[in-house]
Amino acid sequence: MDRQAERWRVLIAAPVRARSRRELAYVLTLPFLVVTGLVHLVLMLLSVILTANLVGVPMLALSVMAGRRLGTANRRLARAWAGVRVPDPGPFRAGPGLVNRLGAALGDVTGWRAVIHGLLRLPAAVVAGASAAGLWGGGLLLLGCPLWGRFAALAHLSPPGWPVAALLSAAGLALLLLAPWGVHLALGPERMLARTLLGPAPGDTRIRRLEQARALAAEDAVARLRRIERDLHDGTAARLVTLAMSLGMAKDELEQAEQHEHDEQHQQQERLQRARVLVDSAHRSAKETVAELRDLIRGIHPPALDQGLEAALATLTARSPIPARFAADLPERPAPAIEAIAYFCTTELLANVVKHSGARHAAVEVRARNGLLTLRVRDDGTGGAVIGAGGAAIGAGSGLRGLAARVQTFDGMIDIQSPPGGPTVITAELPLHI
């Protein structure tokens, strides 16, 4: 019953919703945008005709640049009023000099795509405008039928009867209630054209994604170097200093014991005992320092990868603090760099499972198919891991940001499915070979 009431509430409130007002405003601006686009197309056609006399070359270049500006205006309106999620293309780049600028303008893919948008949007704009006029305009006209009937009576025309006027008014009200949904549907082709032609070209999107991945990878590399420096400074170096001090104090105690051989036996025993305690402390510190250095070296390049990715991940999964199942299907061995990325990603994901998920079980799967290495980590925890769409904007912690940077460095992708309450399934795809 509550669902039915909610549906009626949404239907009744649709005409006054902000989205409906924005889309209606967008449809009302379409005639001006279409006329501007048609004028621009006529100027471009004239420029193409005049290129035979070389006079039209700068005119054509200016027309392409104007098309880029029109595309920017159309993209901003579509984003603000039609709800189109379309990113901005790259900026216009040209070398110094008039010739370079003319060549860059004539070869500007963004400008030409905007010109094509202005040509193809005409039928889409006609569909959207006709839908808005028929639904909103027809609804208002029918809703005001009793009022028009009174005007008809004043003009000595035969007005419709009250039953007919009431039915027409009810039909007009129904049209007004359905108008937002109809206009939204009719704007589908317009939104599709804006997403396809007003955003970055497919090649530009890949280049931008790779540039972002390179920037993230550089940040991650700097962060890793800082972590190594901090671990060496605060951990290993500090332990080595303590070790040296302990050995120095033990040496002093032994020297004093040798220089004062005539002292009483209990004083000799005390000095030897203090030296023994210092040597024991230095021995423990040396063993801890060796263990820290091994962990640090393993973090730079795990020795387990010498036996292959499958053996390394099997060992890593077996050492997980929570029960974890491992499955692998690797008919061929990936490139060493891909193995390292997959290993570090698995390490990070299992660490997140242990620290943050509250899971009782986990699973790690890795397989190679059609030139791709697919790594999948599952857990039955509480969920809530998030990442930005497309991997451009990372909305998670630094661990997942570093993971995404490593994966995108080699043109890979990562997908996170982690609804509140779980389960969490994180999938990374990488090329098998670089």
Give pLDDT tens digits for 382-399.
887 765 433 333 334 446
Residue 19 sits in the same domain as residue 161: yes
177 and 214 share a domain? no
Give the total number of structural domains in the chain. Answer: 3
Binning pLDDT at 50, 70 and 90, where does residue 365 land?
Answer: very high
Structure tokens at 409: 């460095």
Of 103-117, 219-233, 367-381, where does mean pLDDT reach its minimum?
219-233
Q: Tell me: the pLDDT tens digits for 184-211?
A: 899 999 999 998 899 887 767 666 666 6
For residue 357, what is the domain's CATH number? 3.30.565.10
Is residue 138 located within the same domain as residue 35? yes
pLDDT for 242 equals: 73
* 147 lies in the same domain as 75: yes
Residues 30 and 137 occupy one common structural domain: yes
Same domain membership, residue 157 and residue 53? yes
Tokens 């098998």 found at: 432
197, 229, 245 — which closes off a domain?
A: 197
Q: How far is CA 180 from CA 6, 17, 93, 297, 431, in A?
A: 17, 9, 41, 62, 46
Of the residues 149, 177, 197, the one at which a domain ends = 197
Which of 300, 318, 345 finishes a domain? Answer: 300
* Residue 186 and residue 251 in one domain: no
Q: Token pair 């197309």 is at which residue? A: 41
Q: What is the pLDDT of residue 374?
A: 93
pTM of the predicted structure, to 2 decimals: 0.52
- Statement to judge: residues 188 and 108 lie in one domain: yes
| Residues 208 and 115 occupy one common structural domain | no
Length of the chain: 434
The whole domain housing 353 covers 305-431
Among candidates 377, 373, 385, which has minimal Cα distance to 433? 373
Pair 262, 140 in one domain: no
Q: Running DSSP on this structure, what letter comes out for residue 333?
A: P
Name residues whose C-beta falls within 8 Å of residue 308's C-beta, 6 or more positions apart in sequence.
330, 333, 339
Percent of the chain at pLDDT exceeding 70 = 74
**265 and 317 share a domain?**
no
| 25 and 97 inside one domain | yes
Angle of the 188-197 helix axis to the 162-186 helix axis, nearest 10: 20
